[in-house]
Chains A and B, each alone.
Chain A
Amino acid sequence: MKNVWLRNLVALLAVALFGAVGPQTAAAQAKTIKLGCAISFTGAKSRSGKLYRDAYNMAVKQVNDDGGVKVGGEAYQLKIVYYDDKSNPGESSKLIEKLLAEDKVNFLLGPYSSGITIPDSLVARRYRVPMIEGGGASGKIFSHGNKYVFGTLPPAGQYFKSTLEMTQTLKPAPKTLALLYADDKFDVSVAEGTKKLAAGMGLKIVLFEKYAEHTSDFNSILTKIKAANAEMVLVAGHTEESLNFTQQAKELNVSPKLIGMTVGPSEADFRKSLGADANYIFGVASWSPQMNFPGFLLPDTQEFVKKFKAKFNYDPDYHNASAFANVAVFKDAIERAGSLDAAAVRNAIAKTDLKTIYGRVRFAKNGQMKGASVVLQIQGGEVYQVFPDGVRPPIYPFPAWKSRR
């Protein structure tokens, strides 16, 4: 009896002194950098949340397969700690707090949507831990002087800039504009920015209409558009709203000369859901799969598109690419900082000048990426970049619903 007790004691001491042995502990000993991420697994934003998670996971796997992040001669594996924010900003900021205080994550990856990024980034500032996010573009994220948030989407106010510039090249150029936008922070920023840009280009805004987020019925707005006889309609909303808007435009036979949308056209879901009715609709994106940049984690954009499609069985869009770039920027910045110190890494991120599959990433003083969006159009069920440097010319005007098929 006494022997057993003694043996246990010795074993215990051995564990305490030298650490436990065996395969499990080998993994625990491998150095890891923990990235925390509270993002939507469920709720209204879960679809887009998945786009980010897929790309985060793919990028992290790529980093780890290639030997991890090298800091001071040692290789660290990346690991993401996820929580489900249920598409709720209040929930999300609580989870960020938990990630930082309990899970002791080293750095933060962003959630999806501006509304959720704002409270999350404020928690990051309080803990002085840098967050790189690819899912929030509202100027409000970057206007608080928060030094700990970096975003890889172009400023929301500039989203439609390329679309408006494109219209100046069309013949005859549309002169009247109806602008619809959801009442959330991102879309309000888009609308206000677009309004200013349009006025500067001499376009007449005949309808400037805000609608409640998650609106399913656009009949009254469409009736107004028809009455106002707008030549061009721009919609700043979310995928479901874009879907509803398009189908109901057809239901009510409203055919302006140009329909452009922020979120929707670039996503595979949108085209799958609408089929041929999605044709000729314009979208904007900070990135498109037809671009080709030399990359950081992967050789170039086309390699990313191919690998992504093989892995997840859908076409990547700018959400995916932006998220992929977030991880790339972390690896680059941590290696340049040469330490895991939050302040050092924060400063390294600020000085980023990195060629990624998403394009060249540099941050402005406020933390938002320098860059502009491109115009896409759905033609024959596929998305093409049409401006600037389009792979295909834009089709304009929009063929009236009645004249199709």
Chain B
Amino acid sequence: MLLQILVNGLLKGGLYALMAIGMSLIWGVMDIINIAHGSFIMLGAFITYWLFTILGIDPFLSLLFSVTFLFLFGYAVQRYLINYVIRAGAFITLILAFGIEIFINNLALVSWTADVRKVKVSYGAANFAIGDLVTIPTVRLIAFGLVILISLIFFLILNRTNLGRSIRATSQDLDAARLMGVDVAGTYAITFGMGVGAAGAAGTLWSILFPISPMMGGALTLKSFVVVIIGGLGSMLGPILGGLALGIAEAFGSNWFGATYENLIGFTILVLVLIFRPKGILGGTS
């Protein structure tokens, strides 16, 4: 049973990490706390749902569509909306993101109603057992693999390409980067697009595992936020560590103290991290 709880926690952590990685990227590079993150996840989930329901496209294939669409959408949002206020500071961008969230959620609510929907794939609840000890849900395992893949891609882009160098440069010193000829607005837009694209991937996976509805985003934003804080900004490893830490803590916590305390456990860890390692597990103590 303990092993099963550990596996549950790890896999849930993987899902949390996948949700949070895009938020972490955007926050780390641009200092934007993207409150609308959960809404972008919701959009990814609905893209998968509609492609599956209307055209019969397999959810894993629709990953390509949801990521591409949300990348472009995120790019446009940053380029034509957030870029106008980005110099005004974190608080203003926070409010703008809040507005975007309200807009997206309510547009979704009006267009698709509040119905709870489900992507009904035969393998949604697929699993395999290792002996008698542990049952592993396959889709969650794939989500786990996907988050490692995405973080690897992000890592390679940030560290091995010119685009990555521009992103890091703008993140470290905006004015110097601009003086060196970096197209700051464009870089920002691409970064935001990447983060939102990752949210799209999370949405697709989420839609296979859980029922979806237009108002699902808020809770996901909150979880992503906790994961980002716990993991710390500035590294692709941060959200993974934060997600796993939260997933495992919730799994054991809800086993020992009862399921009602799941959120309490998450936020207790958040507070402890803020007290003792204000920059996150990976972020140092200063």
Could you tell me which A residues sit within 8 Å of B by CB distance?
A: 42-44, 46-47, 50, 183, 209-212, 214-217, 219-221, 223-224, 226-227, 239-240, 243-244, 247-248, 250-253, 269, 272-275, 277, 401
Additional pairs, 4, CB under 8 Å, beyond known A212-B260, A216-B210: A43-B114, A240-B213, A274-B120, A277-B125
Q: Which residues of A contact B118 (CB under 8 A)?
A: 243, 272-274
- The binding surface of chain A is classed by DSSP as helix
Q: Which residues of A contact B116 (CB under 8 A)?
A: 47, 239-240, 243, 269, 273
Are B8 and A273 in contact, CB atoms less than 8 angstroms apart?
Answer: no
Return the contact of A224 from the options B124, B137, B255 (Cβ within 8 A).
B255
Are B114 and A247 in contact, CB atoms less than 8 angstroms apart?
Answer: no
Are B120 and A273 in contact, CB atoms less than 8 angstroms apart?
Answer: yes
Q: How far is the CA of A205 from the CA of B219 in the complex (A)?
A: 32
B51 to chain A, nearest CB (A): 17
Q: How far is the CA of A275 from the CA of B116 in the complex (A)?
A: 14
A363 to chain B, nearest CB (A): 32
Q: How far is the CA of A401 from the CA of B125 in the complex (A)?
A: 10
Which 4 A-B pairs have CB atoms at the shortest separation, nearest pair first?
Answer: A273-B118, A250-B125, A211-B259, A46-B114
Are B260 and A223 in contact, CB atoms less than 8 angstroms apart?
Answer: no
Asked, given contacts A210-B258, A247-B209, whether A273 binds B125 with beta carbons under 8 Å apart, the answer is no
What 0/1 readout, one digit per residue, does chain B (1-38) give for beta carbons within 8 Å of chain A? 10011001001100000000000000000000000000
29 pairs, CB–CB < 8 Å, chain A vs chain B: A42-B106, A42-B215, A43-B215, A47-B114, A211-B259, A214-B219, A215-B259, A215-B262, A217-B262, A219-B11, A219-B12, A220-B8, A220-B251, A220-B255, A227-B1, A240-B116, A240-B213, A243-B211, A244-B210, A248-B125, A250-B127, A251-B126, A251-B135, A251-B209, A273-B116, A273-B211, A274-B118, A274-B120, A401-B125
Return the contact of A220 from the options B114, B135, B259 (Cβ within 8 A).
B259
Q: Which residues of A contact B175 (CB under 8 A)?
A: none
Closest to B209 in A: A247
Q: Which residues of A contact B211 (CB under 8 A)?
A: 240, 243-244, 273
Report the count of interface residues on B (CB-CB < 8 A).
38
Are B12 and A223 in contact, CB atoms less than 8 angstroms apart?
Answer: no
Q: How far is the CA of A46 from the CA of B106 in the complex (A)?
A: 13
B109 near A: Cβ within 8 Å?
A: yes
Q: Which residues of B contact A214 (CB under 8 A)?
A: 219
Q: Which residues of B contact A216 (CB under 8 A)?
A: 210, 219
Q: How far is the CA of A176 from the CA of B126 in the complex (A)?
A: 28
Closest to B115 in A: A47
Q: Which residues of B contact A215 (CB under 8 A)?
A: 259, 262
Q: Which residues of A contact B126 (CB under 8 A)?
A: 251
Q: How far is the CA of A277 from the CA of B211 in the complex (A)?
A: 14
Return the contact of B5 from the options A220, A248, A269 (Cβ within 8 A).
A220
Are A269 and B12 in contact, CB atoms less than 8 angstroms apart?
Answer: no
What 0/1 readout, one digit per residue, does chain B (200-238) give for beta carbons within 8 Å of chain A? 000000000111010100010000000000000000000
A49 to chain B, nearest CB (A): 8
B161 near A: Cβ within 8 Å?
A: no
B180 near A: Cβ within 8 Å?
A: no
Return the contact of B127 from the options A44, A217, A253 (Cβ within 8 A).
A253
B130 near A: Cβ within 8 Å?
A: no
Q: How far is the CA of A7 from the CA of B267 in the complex (A)?
A: 74
Asked, given contacts A43-B215, A244-B210, A251-B137, whether A212 binds B255 with beta carbons under 8 Å apart, the answer is no
B253 to chain A, nearest CB (A): 9
Are B259 and A221 in contact, CB atoms less than 8 angstroms apart?
Answer: yes
Return the contact of A252 from the options B137, B213, B259 (Cβ within 8 A).
B137
In B92-123, the 8 Å CB interface with A consists of 106, 109, 114-118, 120
A179 to chain B, nearest CB (A): 12
Q: Which residues of B contact A240 (CB under 8 A)?
A: 116, 211, 213
Instruction: Tell which of B115, B129, B139 has the most Cβ of chain A within 10 Å.
Output: B115
A85 to chain B, nearest CB (A): 13
Are B259 and A212 in contact, CB atoms less than 8 angstroms apart?
Answer: yes
Q: Which residues of B contact A239 (CB under 8 A)?
A: 116
Q: How far is the CA of A46 from the CA of B117 in the complex (A)?
A: 14
B172 near A: Cβ within 8 Å?
A: no
In B255-272, the 8 Å CB interface with A consists of 255, 258-260, 262-263
Closest to B129 in A: A253
Q: Which residues of A contact B258 (CB under 8 A)?
A: 209-210
Closest to A243 in B: B211
Instruction: Tell which of B117, B129, B140, B209 has the most Cβ of chain A within 10 Å.
Output: B209
B83 near A: Cβ within 8 Å?
A: no
Are A251 and B125 in contact, CB atoms less than 8 angstroms apart?
Answer: yes
Closest to A208 in B: B258
